[in-house]
Chain A
Amino acid sequence: MNGRRLVWRIARLVEIRDETPSARTLVFQIPDWPGHLAGQHVDIRLTAEDGYSTQRSYSIAAPADGERVELTIQRVPDGEVSPYLSEELAVGDEVEIRGPVGGWFVWRPDGTAPVLLVAGGSGIVPLMAMIRARRQAGSRTPFRLVYSLREPGERYYAGELRRPDPGLDVTYLYTRVVPDGWARPPGRLTVADLNTGGWPADFTPACYVCGPTGFVETAADILLAMGHDARAIKTERFGPTGG
């Protein structure tokens, strides 16, 4: 490793985009940002007037773009940090950020193996950074995204994922509520879903799975059962814990 120290930087909020009624994308301007890889995350530190401070980690939603760093924050009910970030923080406000963090759950644009992305809920965020990094680099590496959600209203990046992006296939799965006329009944991720929406194991794809713990356990177990190499399955788990 390079031994570069991760310093706290002052990040100014320059843009807000609503993704769903309970999630929004925050674009920060961070002077001297060193750049990052798709899939990495940052630490945010908030400090109250009495000196109390707390930190959380958030995945970065887009590839490196100069000093701009995009995060998508899901509001966790009763959370300490996510309601502040997703409701209170306004354009022009500042927070402290350090990063990038995490050198494992990353996709590099020079990767040539086909890629399978499996997202549960807000686990889409670091995977969207990979999709955007692929597009930004003009990569022809074939990508497939299997995106599991409770209901259509919870989709992040819906407009962007609807636009044609040659070489990227997107499959939505709904666990509770499906759109009118949707063939697949609501339900949790199954072998059939990853058989249809993923790659055969003999294509030796790089698999990235991100979502709540139970979802990631299920998806990784299915991929192993389908014959994918455990070493080719990278996972990132999170819970609503603490928020």
Chain B
Amino acid sequence: MGFISRGFHGRPRDEGVKLPPGQYLVHDFPVLSAGPTPRVPLDRWEFAIDTEDGRTHRWSWRELMALPSETPTVDLHCVTKWSKLGTAWKGVSLDTLFADVESSAEYALVYSYGGYTTNLPVEDLLDGKAWIVYEFDGEELAAAHGGPARLLVPHLYLWKSAKWVQGIRLLNEDWPGFWETAGYHNYGDPWREQRYQGD
């Protein structure tokens, strides 16, 4: 047994809930972002997937809304230590958006209105693991939480779920994104507590 904090007892343990290491449970929905909240009018909103050979697939807001939607209920884990369980979303699976995209790229750089970027392997976007979501808890997604639409990749720390998502660039090599170049882990698996570089 390692270090003990004298006199620290912590909250009563809830044995029914299993959280990733170092996380604690919250019931509100904290906001974390590095700059002002961008506001994107829906008539100018567009989402794109850019392939490694220079082709671009685009969707307007109306086209996104016309695609089949899913309603994932997922747990969120933020690198700042909070976890929120059972969050209800509505959006389009990346499998649907990638259906007609021909690509053999292994890496993705997600970019957002406002300039934010984050990187992850393409395989983490596919097979029912990721969505472009536009509703939270039955309401349209608030700008502070990434509206009108954000990426949702709940099996990775929440900074990978880029708010105000604008597009995904497919790449043959890995390009670290915003937090990934600022000392955070390149992959960010909460169950392996990959918070920072070297974890």
Please tell me if A184 contacts chain B, counting CB pairs below 8 Å. Answer: no
Cβ contact within 8 Å between A6 and B196? yes
Out of B2, B30, B115, name the residue touching A241 (CB < 8 Å).
Answer: B30
Quote the shortest CB–CB distance from B195 to chain A (angstroms).
Answer: 8
A contact patch SS: mixed
Contacts of A46 in B (CB 8 A): 5, 8, 10
- A-B contacts counted at CB < 8 A amount to 124
Please tell me if A135 contacts chain B, counting CB pairs below 8 Å. Answer: no
With contact pairs A46-B10, A80-B24 given, residues A102 and B35 touching in the complex (Cβ less than 8 Å)? no
Cβ contact within 8 Å between A231 and B4? no
Counting chain A residues whose Cβ lies within 8 A of the other chain, the interface size class is 35 or more
Contacts of B195 in A (CB 8 A): 43
Interface pairs A-B: 4 shortest CB-CB: A5-B198, A220-B36, A103-B182, A46-B5
Residues of A within 8 A of B (CB): 1, 3-6, 10, 43, 45-49, 51-57, 80, 84, 88, 93-96, 101-105, 213, 217, 220-221, 223-224, 230-231, 233-235, 237-239, 241-242
Residues of B within 8 A of A (CB): 1-11, 13, 22, 24-26, 28, 30-38, 80-82, 114-115, 144, 178-179, 181-183, 195-199
- A and B contact pairs by CB, cutoff 8 A, 30 listed: A1-B197, A5-B197, A5-B198, A5-B199, A47-B3, A48-B5, A51-B1, A54-B10, A57-B80, A84-B7, A93-B6, A94-B5, A95-B5, A101-B196, A102-B182, A102-B183, A103-B181, A103-B183, A104-B182, A105-B34, A213-B31, A217-B31, A220-B37, A223-B36, A230-B38, A230-B114, A234-B35, A238-B30, A239-B30, A242-B82
